Amino acid sequence: MSFIVQTYGTMLLKALGQTLLLTLLSLVFAMIIGMIFGLMNVGKSRLFNFIGTIYVDAVRGVPLIVLAYFIYFGVPTGMKALGAADFRLTALQAGTIALSMNCGAYMAEIIRAGIESVDRGQMEAGRSLGLSYGATMALIVVPQAIRTMIPSIINQFIITLKDTSILSVIGFPELTNTGKTIMGNTFKSLETWAIIGIMYMVVIVTLSKVAKQVERRVNRGR
């Protein structure tokens, strides 16, 4: 095991960095996507509800690995057929898109549920004071919804971090993919995967501890 750590230590740390980069990028975009489709699903507009439902159902209905293949291999091929011959996606771009779309659908559901958990009277009180729907949402409903959403968002954060490993299939040099490389070079599968597993675990456990602290702090003001 020490042989692997000594020889591949920097490579593993770099790979961990890539995993975290992919996670963070995806989470940022997923929050935006989730906010948009979540709000669409909460509102009264039938059209928006329809679009929101289609998105959530479509993305949740497709395994992430299929989505990743589709975006990394399928989309450039399609673009070529449409005449954009030099359209290419890097593994990071394709990975970020696939993961953001996937995580965004779950975020949309978390955000919808969070907003719906806020008593209807809060919206009515805001509107009765002359505030617009948007202002009431932004100033009154969403701030209260966020508190109930935090545990689910943290959970989704951890799932997304683990899901980055699926993107090893499109050749993105994140932790799992790097594990494959090391194993190919050394044939020490037990040690390699133990190390990779521990690295994921350390990061995730640390993050969930931090998250618990944040959650506790937010709830204190309640």
CB closer to other proteins out of 131 and 150 = 131
Contact pick of 139, 159, 201, 205 for other proteins (by CB under 8 A): 139
Nearest to 20 by CA among 96, 91, 98: 96
Examine residue 140 and tell whether it contacts other proteins (CB under 8 A).
yes
HEC string for 95-147: HHHHHHHHHHHHHHHHHHHHHHCCCHHHHHHHHHCCCCHHHHHHHHHHHHHHH
Nearest to 147 by CA among 76, 57, 219, 69: 219
Examine residue 125 and tell whether it contacts other proteins (CB under 8 A).
yes
DSSP letter for each residue of 146-167:
HHHHHHHHHHHHHHHHHHGGGG
* Coil/strand/helix, residue 61: coil
Examine residue 127 and tell whether it contacts other proteins (CB under 8 A).
yes
Shortest CB 31 distance to other proteins, Å: 20
Shortest CB 131 distance to other proteins, Å: 6
Query: Which region among 86-94, 121-129, 165-173, 200-208 touches other proteins (by CB under 8 A)?
Result: 121-129
Shortest CB 140 distance to other proteins, Å: 5
Counting residues that bind other proteins (by CB under 8 A) gives: 20
Query: Which region among 26-34, 60-68, 116-124, 159-167 touches other proteins (by CB under 8 A)?
Result: 116-124
CA–CA distance, 187 with 198 (Å, rounded to integer): 19
CA–CA distance, 31 with 37 (Å, rounded to integer): 10
Shortest CB 139 distance to other proteins, Å: 6
Examine residue 159 and tell whether it contacts other proteins (CB under 8 A).
no
Nearest to 216 by CA among 151, 156, 152, 158: 151
Contact pick of 90, 132, 185, 206 for other proteins (by CB under 8 A): 132
Q: Are 162 and 200 in contact (CB under 8 A)?
A: yes
Examine residue 119 and tell whether it contacts other proteins (CB under 8 A).
yes
Examine residue 148 and tell whether it contacts other proteins (CB under 8 A).
no
Question: Interface residues with other proteins (CB under 8 A)?
Answer: 119, 121-122, 124-132, 135, 139-140, 143-144, 147, 221-222
